[in-house]
Amino acid sequence: MAEDRENTVGGCKIRWLEPLVPSMAGAMSKILIVDDSVENLRLLQALLAAQGYEILQARSGAEALETTGRERPDVILLDVLMPGMDGLEVCRRLKADGQLQAIPVILVTSNDRSEDIVQGLDSGADDYVTKPFHREVLAARVRSMMRIKQSYDAVAQMNEELKQAKRAAEIANEAKSQFLANVSHELRTPLHSILSFAAFGRKKANTAAPEDLLRYFQRIDQSGSILLSLVEDLLDLSKLEAGCAVIAAKPTDLAALITAAVDEFSSLVVHRQIAIVLPEHVDSITLYLDPDKIKQVLRNLLGNAIKFSPDRQTIEVTVRETEKEVSVSVADRGPGIPEDELTAIFDKFIQSSKTRTGAGGTGLGLAISREIVEAHQGRIWAENRPGGGTIMTFTLPRDLRAASEHRPTTAAAGGGPRLDTNTR
C-alpha cells in the first residue's frame, strides 16, 4: 500500500504519495531552478530533490546564464516574471547560444493564458508548468525533458563519432592518394632509366664503344635492382599491413643474428672505410622471434646507418638487457633527423628532409621495420645522437608468448601480421 505523508515548505503543504514514481534521471542529472523568489526556489527544490536530481539555483536572469554556462544542467526550470532580465529573454539567449541551446527549458508561469503560453514557446521554451505546482505533473514534465536531453546527447555523440569517422576516412583517402603518387614516382624513375639506356644501346649497338655499351648495361642493371627492391618492399609491407604475413617465431640467438647481419655489409664498409663496432662480451641471447624478419630489421637499420654515414666513420651497435625486454641500437654519425620528423620517418615513403636527396632508397624500409617490430610486441624509435648522427633503437620482449597473449586480435581483420609462436 502507498503511504501518504505531508511536509510544509514556505508555508505550502506538499502531499507525498509513496512509493514515488521512478525517476528517469541518473543520480548526477542536474536541474537549474531560476526564480527571484526564495520561497519558490525552496518549494521546487523540495519537490525535485526527492526525485534524485542534483539541484542548482539562480535568482536572476544574469545569474541563470552564468550558471548554465558553467554547470551545463540537464534541464532548466525558468520563472517567467523576474525583475531585470525576465525568463523569456533568458530563454531567447539560451536558445541563441550554440553550446547551450540543446538544454531543455521548462517555463514556470503563474497563469495559463494561451497567449502567454504561445509567447513562452515562441521564445524557445520546450515546455511549461503553471503555479501552483502539481507534483506528479511537474515530475512527469521534468522526466520528459530529461528523455529529450538524453536523446539529444546520444545524437550529438553519434554525430561526433560520424565526424571523426569521416575525418579518418578523409585522412586514409589522402594517404592512399599520396601512397599511389609516391609509388608511381618511385616506379617511374628506374623504369625511365631502364628504357632510356636500353634505347641508347639499341640505337648504338653497332657503333658504340664496348665500354659505353657496358656502361648502359650497368645502368640498366642498377635501375632494375632498384625496381626489384621497391617491388619486394611493397609486397612485404602490403602483406604485413594486411595480416597476410606470418611471424614464424622460434628460439633464436639474437647476438648471432646481429653478427650475421653485420657480416652482410662487410665489403661495403671496407670499401668506405667505415667501422661497425659490436658490443663486447655479449653472451648468447635466446629469444622467441622470427629470425628472417628481425634480420630484415637489422639490415634496414644498418643499411641506413652506412648509407648516411660519411666515409671513415664508426657505427656502433649496442645491446641492452632488462628483465622484460632486450633493446638493440644502431648509432651513426650521419646528418641526423630534424626533431619534428623523428616519428614520421617510420611512415610509408617518408624520408628525412636531411637525407631524402643523394642517397636513394624507397622510403619503405623503416615502415616495414616498424610493422615487424610491433608484430613482435616490441617498439622502435629514432633519436638524435649528441654530437651529431642518429640512434635507431628497437626492443623485443624476453617472453614473446606471454606478450602475445595481451595482443589485440586484429590480424584476421587485416590489422597486422599473424603471430605464430609455435614454430619449432
Taking the C-alpha atoms of residue 55 and residue 29, their distance in angstroms, rounded to an integer, is 9
Q: In Å, how far are 116, 309, 337 from 134, measured between CA atoms?
A: 19, 84, 72
Phi, psi of 219 (to 5 degrees): -65, -40
Which range scores top for mean pLDDT: 13-22, 64-73, 188-197, 234-243?
64-73
- E-strand ranges in 258-401 read 275-277, 286-289, 314-321, 325-331, 380-384, 390-397
Instruction: Identify which of 4-13, 218-227, 289-298 has the greatest average pLDDT.
Output: 289-298
pLDDT above 90: residue 110: no
Residue 84 Rama label (left phi>0; alpha psi -120 to 50; beta): left
- H helices of 72-132, where? 87-96, 114-122
The band of 400, judged by pLDDT with boundaries at 50, 70 and 90, is confident
- The DSSP 8-state label assigned to residue 272 in this structure reads T
**The CATH number of domain 3-133, selected from 3.30.1490.20, 1.10.3720.10, 3.30.465.10, 3.40.50.2300:** 3.40.50.2300
Integer CA distances (angstroms), 62 to 31, 34, 89, 95, in order? 17, 10, 10, 15
The closest alpha carbon to 45, from 55, 35, 37, 36, belongs to: 55
Which triple of cell numbers denotes residue 50?
Answer: 526527492
| pLDDT value of position 317 | 96
**What distance in Å separates the CA atoms of residue 313 and residue 272, rounded to the nearest whole number?**
9
What is the Cα–Cα distance from 90 to 84, expressed in whole angstroms?
10
Q: Which fold has domain 243-420?
A: Heat Shock Protein 90 (3.30.565)
pLDDT at position 10, please? 45
pLDDT in tens, 166-212: 988 887 787 777 777 777 777 887 888 899 989 988 888 888 888 88
Residue with cell string 645491446: 319
190 cis-preceded (ω within 30 degrees of 0): no
pLDDT of residue 396: 96
Q: Residue 18: which pLDDT band, with cuts at 50, 70 and 90?
A: very low
pLDDT digits (tens, 9 = 90+) for 338-349: 998 899 888 876
Cell (9 digits) for 257: 643474428
pLDDT of residue 350: 67
What confidence tens digit (pLDDT) does each residue in 114-124 have? 777 888 889 99
Alpha-carbon Rg for the chain in angstroms: 36
CA dihedral 271, 272, 276, 277 (to 10 degrees): 110
Position 290: which residue type?
Answer: D
d(CA 27, CA 52): 6
- Nearest-angstrom CA–CA distance, 404 and 103: 47
Question: What's the mean pLDDT when you consider all of the chain?
Answer: 83
pLDDT, mean of residues 65-72: 94
Same fold, 169-236 and 243-420: no
In whole angstroms, give the CA distance from residue 265 to residue 32: 74
Res. 47: pLDDT tops 60: yes
- Tens of pLDDT, residue by residue over 374-399, are 999 999 999 999 999 999 999 999 98
Fold of 169-236: Helix Hairpins (1.10.287)
Residues 15-38: what's their mean pLDDT? 64
Q: What is the mean pLDDT of residues 250-258?
A: 94
Average pLDDT over residues 226-235: 80
Which of the pair, 324 or 347, is modelled with greater confidence? 324
Per-domain residue ranges of the chain: 3-133, 169-236, 243-420
Alpha-carbon 412 to chain mean position: 21
- When mean pLDDT is compared over 189-193, 249-253, 266-270, 360-364, the highest value belongs to 249-253
φ/ψ of residue 26, rounded to 5:
-80, 175
**Are 326 and 287 spatial neighbours (Cβ–Cβ below 8 Å)?**
yes
Residue 313 CA, distance from chain mean position: 39
Q: From CA 219, how far away is CA 194, in angstroms rounded?
A: 7
Interstrand relation of 75-79 and 286-289 (parallel, antiparallel or unpaired): unpaired
d(CA 273, CA 286): 32
The band of 416, judged by pLDDT with boundaries at 50, 70 and 90, is low
CA atoms within a 13 Å half-sphere pointing along the CA-CB vector of 343: 1
223, 232, 400, 417: CA torsion to nearest 10: 150
At 135 the pLDDT is 85
